[in-house]
């Protein structure tokens, strides 16, 4: 039967090194899905941990909660999109996992001190012309 072929679950004897490896795997998994509306539950399930345990171990390993880490990665990606593409703010918001471009703009402003459109304008003004 299916139950007989399923691998045994860990009994919690995972080493600190194994936890770090799993956090790195979780980071890579989320980074590949920045455009998706990820939940903590989905993210924890991807590395086969309970959400509470995942959040605790992730924060211990990185110094940030998983969702704060994800927000920071999304904002870095958004900054690159705004500086390097002609995508609209709404398209950038969607590309980095925000369905609501107004909320995206608010989060972006909190991170970088200016609205996405102003950031783009400033970054083009500061880029040397060839």
The tens place of each residue's pLDDT in the chain, 130 residues long, gives: 444 434 333 434 456 567 888 999 999 999 999 999 899 999 999 999 999 999 999 999 999 999 999 999 999 999 999 999 999 999 999 999 999 999 999 999 999 999 999 999 887 776 554 4
Q: What is the pTM of this model?
A: 0.79
Q: What is the per-residue pLDDT for 10? A: 42
Q: What is the per-residue pLDDT for 11? A: 35
Q: 116 and 101 in contact (C-beta within 8 Å)?
A: no
Count of CB atoms within 10 A of residue 45's CB?
A: 13
Percent of residues in the chain assigned helix, strand, coil, to nearest 5: 70, 0, 30
């Amino acid at each position: 039967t299916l139950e007989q072929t399923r691998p045994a679950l860990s009994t919690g004897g995972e080493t600190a090194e194994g936890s770090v490896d799993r956090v790195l795997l979780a980071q890579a998994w989320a980074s590949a899905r920045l455009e998706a509306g990820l939940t903590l539950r989905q993210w924890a399930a991807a590395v086969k941990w309970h959400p509470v345990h995942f959040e605790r171990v992730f924060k211990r390993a990185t110094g940030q909660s998983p969702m704060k880490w994800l927000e920071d990665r999304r904002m870095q990606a958004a900054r690159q999109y705004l500086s390097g593409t002609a995508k609209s703010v709404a398209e950038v918001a969607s590309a980095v996992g925000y369905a609501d471009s107004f909320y995206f703009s608010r989060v972006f402003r909190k991170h970088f001190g200016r609205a996405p459109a102003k950031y783009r304008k400033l970054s083009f003004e500061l880029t040397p012309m060839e």
